[in-house]
């Protein structure tokens, strides 16, 4: 299932780099591994330099680093979320140029 509700916010570009923040809702998972997608060209990016993820252990409270896997194909970044954080808000910072 691809999450279509994650908000995407472009952060001010700095030294040719851009950052985009992906924030999921709290009902993203349905008991299976889900994915987030981002079309790089929509944010003026051609390549991804880094993806950093966090998860709220309690909604809007404690945040911890989370794992997942990433892939870029045909200019689309796909983040496959880890299965251990169902129904928890997650935030990913994508840095690229």
- Distance CA(71)–CA(78), nearest Å, equals 5
Q: Within a 13 Å sphere around the CA of 45, how many CA atoms are in the beta-carbon half?
A: 26
Whether the pLDDT of residue 73 is over 90: the answer is: yes
pLDDT given for residue 41 in this prediction: 92
* Residue 12 pLDDT > 70: no
Ranges of each domain in the chain: 2-96
pTM of the model: 0.74
Highest mean pLDDT among 5-9, 23-27, 66-70: 66-70
Please give the pLDDT value at position 14: 60
Confidence of residue 88 (pLDDT cuts 50, 70, 90): confident
Asked whether residue 82 carries a pLDDT value surpassing 60, the answer given is yes
Architecture, CATH, for domain 2-96:
Sandwich (2.60)
Read off the pLDDT of each residue in 79-89 and give the average, rounded to a whole number: 73
Phi-psi region at 44: left, alpha or beta (left = phi > 0; alpha = psi -120 to 50): left
């Amino acid at each position: 299932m691809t999450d279509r509700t994650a908000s995407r916010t472009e952060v001010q570009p700095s030294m040719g780099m851009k950052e985009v923040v992906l924030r999921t809702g709290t009902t993203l998972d349905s008991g299976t591994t889900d994915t987030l997608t981002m079309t790089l060209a929509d944010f003026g990016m051609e390549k991804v330099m880094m993806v950093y993820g966090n998860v709220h252990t309690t909604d809007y409270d404690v945040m911890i680093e989370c794992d997942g896997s990433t892939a870029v194909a045909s200019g689309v970044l796909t983040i496959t979320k880890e299965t251990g954080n169902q129904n928890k808000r997650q935030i990913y910072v994508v840095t690229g140029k």
